Amino acid sequence: MGQRVVVIGGGLAGLATAHHLLHARPDLDLTLLDGADRLGGKVRQQTVGGVRVDVGAESIVASSVAARELFAELGLAEQVVHPEPVPASFWSRGARHAIPGRTFMGVPGPQTDLTGLLDEGEVARAAQPAPFVLESDDVTIADAVGAVYGRAVVDRVVEPLLGGVYAGRVDHLSLRSTMPALWAAMVGGRSMPAAVESLLPPPTSTPRPRVMGLAGGVGTLVGALWRSVLDAGGHVEGATLVRRIERTQSGWRVVSGATNAEVARDADLVVVSTPAAATSRLLADHAPAAASALGGIEYASMAVMTIALPALRDGRFATSSGNGVGALPGSGFLVPAVDGRPIKASTFSASKWAWVREAADDVVLLRASAGRAGEVATLQRDDADLVADALAEIGSALRTDLPRPVDAHVQRWGGGLPQYDLGHTGRVAAVRSAVAGLPGLEVTGAAYDGVGIGAVLTGAAETATTILDALPPSSTIRQEPR
């Protein structure tokens, strides 16, 4: 029998780690345990208007090497797609504006044109960036970007772009943790505009897609990973809550199940890929410093409303008044939090993804999201109210009357997104340091080095490599660890 491995958590981090381990070492005796009744964590699909679509994350950063390598291993490379070449916009101060070019996650570079999106005074202020020196181990995005370009750039450019990624508040989010490349460029002494410029491709280069997806949805990755683990001889158990982990003379014991019917599994190696609060609970008796640091990571809740509108033959929709037809301009829009609207973004799925449009013969699919860190009232409404708000807001942004939907779905993500607030880098370092003192145990997931799917898959690959490098050799190795 090979080394016994237990992976706790069946989100993408846990599934991908299990896949990498078994792909390289089929001799491992691996079991994956997840407390939910379905795998995938915050990646999920639902049928809306007769089309199975993502109701969680729908895209991955296109530059993710870990994601592309994983797709190749799973036979998904031919399913990789990119958004249609249609622009997104900001819906700011009651009007839609093109998203400025030549920015790094919204932070302007020397050639960024903010005309129209900001008023004349705000444009003039941004055009005269003030010097800013990194004098501490961390700084909030608002403090750094605001000091250089003025508050309007923070509120109406940077915040809405980050809102979809972190559902956070720029007055709390860490510049170092959310934009590590920009931080590193500035640590070298560059000004913020020069640092941004150093991270952007040459102005004359052909624009490349920033994100990618999978035909059929990112959610198909969950099933592919699950099948890969099973096909390689792994065991997967859902609806299995891990209550605690215990040290043994030879490794670890993972205890799960009901209090009156506990199940104990001995393991040589344990990978904990659960959210911060659950991981904190499991590590409390073994690494108090790690548990404390994890306990300091806040999570934001949000909701995704997916809506199917009745379609005309040309893919457009009839307005509710019956006096005309409407269309979905671009791929969607982002909403600054400062405007106080009940949604923070809308994605026109039928325009953004060709596969969605082709799969929907008689509906036009779109979605909206709501919920930011610190907001409570926004999500304290029933599903019907959230859908009604989304329809009203999208109609207002498009200046048209949307028809009654033929179908709608609301996916609530309670505590779904970890907040990389001020000091996050230090918290993660404390966790890593404490866990390093626990042989045979690793942690991975969205709480550490990036909330996007690309970052999570990178972390999973690195975790698997760390484990594989420490394992004794086997005659049944299928491929060398990366």
| Judgement on whether residues 279 and 427 belong to the same structural domain of the protein | yes
For residue 482, tell me if it sits in a domain: no
Alpha helices in 85-190 (DSSP H): 120-126, 141-149, 151-153, 159-166, 175-178, 180-187
CATH number of residue 370's parent domain: 3.90.660.20
Identify whether 62 is part of a domain.
Answer: no
CA distance 57 to 42: 7
Identify whether residues 438 and 404 lie together within a single domain: no
188 and 238 inside one domain: no
In this structure, the answer to whether residues 400 and 334 fall within a common structural domain is: yes
User: What does the alpha-carbon distance between residue 43 and residue 329 come to, in Å, rounded to a whole number?
Assistant: 27
Looking at the structure, do residues 282 and 236 belong to the same domain, yes or no?
yes
| Three-state secondary structure of the chain | CCCEEEEECCEHHHHHHHHHHHHHCCCCEEEEECCCCCCECCCCEEEECCEEEECCCCCEECCCHHHHHHHHHHCCHHHEECCCCCCEEEEECCEEEECCCCEECCEECCCCCCECCECHHHHHHHCCCCCCCCCCCCCEHHHHHHHHHCHHHHHHHHHHHHHHHHCCCCCCEEHHHHCHHHHHHHHCCCCHHHHHHHHCCCCCCCCCCCEEEECCCCCHHHHHHHHHHHHCCCEEECCCCEEEEEECCCCEEEEECCCCCCEEEEECEEEECCCHHHHHHHHCCCCHHHHHHHHCCCEEEEEEEEEEEECCCCCCEECCCCCCEECCCCCEEECCHHHCCCCCEEECHHHHCHHHHHHCCCEEEEEEEECCCCCCHHHCCCHHHHHHHHHHHHHHHHCCCCCCCCEEEEEEEEEEEECCECCHHHHHHHHHHHHCCCCCEEECCCCCCCCCHHHHHHHHHHHHHHHHHHCCCCCCCCCCCC
> What CATH number should be reported for the domain holding residue 9?
3.50.50.60
User: Which residues face 336 on adjacent strands?
Assistant: none
The domain total for the chain is: 3
Query: Is 413 within 8 Å of 43 (Cβ atoms)?
Result: no
DSSP annotation of 186 reads H
Same domain? 318 vs 272: no
DSSP-derived letter for residue 9 is -
Is there a single domain that holds both residue 185 and residue 141? yes
In this structure, which amino acid lies at residue 388? A
Which amino acid belongs to residue 161?
L
Name the residue among 470, 466, 454 with its Cα closest to residue 68: 454
Q: Is there a domain that residue 191 lies in? A: yes
Q: What's the CA gap between 320 and 393, in Å, rounded?
A: 15
Q: Identify which of 359, 379, 364, 353 has the alpha carbon closest to the alpha carbon of residue 306.
A: 364
Domain boundary among 144, 165, 199: 199
- Unique residue bearing structure tokens 């009007």: 95
Give pLDDT tens digits along the chain (482 positions). 689 999 999 999 999 999 999 999 999 999 999 999 999 999 999 999 999 999 999 999 999 999 999 999 999 999 999 999 999 999 999 999 999 999 999 999 999 999 999 999 999 999 999 999 998 999 999 999 999 999 999 999 999 999 878 999 999 999 999 999 999 999 988 999 999 999 999 988 888 899 999 999 999 999 999 999 999 999 999 999 999 999 999 999 999 999 899 999 999 999 999 999 999 999 999 999 999 999 999 999 999 999 999 986 555 666 555 544 457 889 999 999 999 999 999 999 999 999 999 998 889 999 999 999 988 888 999 999 999 999 999 999 999 889 999 999 999 999 999 999 999 999 999 999 999 999 999 999 999 999 999 999 999 999 999 999 999 987 554 544 44
Residue 204 within any structural domain of the chain = no
Q: Are residues 179 and 283 in the same domain?
A: no
The pLDDT value given to residue 1: 62
Q: What distance, in Å, lies between the first and last C-alpha atoms of the chain?
A: 24
Please give the single-letter amino acid code of residue 258: A
In a domain, 65, yes or no: no
- C-alpha–C-alpha distance, residues 40 and 273, integer Å: 12
Residue 377: the pLDDT is 85
- The answer to the question of residue 85 being in a domain is no
d(CA 71, CA 126): 41
Q: Are residues 106 and 166 in the same domain?
A: yes
Q: Is residue 57 part of a domain?
A: no
Q: Give this prediction's pTM.
A: 0.95
Domain-ending residue, one of 378, 401, 418: 418
Structural contact between residues 400 and 319, judged by C-beta atoms closer than 8 angstroms: yes
Tally of CB atoms within 10 A around 257: 14
CB 332 within 8 A of CB 347: yes
Residue 179 belongs to domain with CATH number = 1.10.3110.10
459 and 380 housed in the same domain = no
Domain membership of residue 116 as a residue range = 100-199
Rounded Cα gap, residues 24 and 7, in angstroms: 16
Task: Looking at the structure, tell me whether residues 275 and 289 fall in a common domain.
Answer: yes
Is residue 5 left, alpha or beta, with left meaning phi > 0 and alpha meaning psi from -120 to 50? beta
94 within domain boundaries? no
439 shares a domain with 382:
no
CB-CB contact of 282 with 272 (8 Å)? yes
Domain boundary among 418, 435, 458: 418
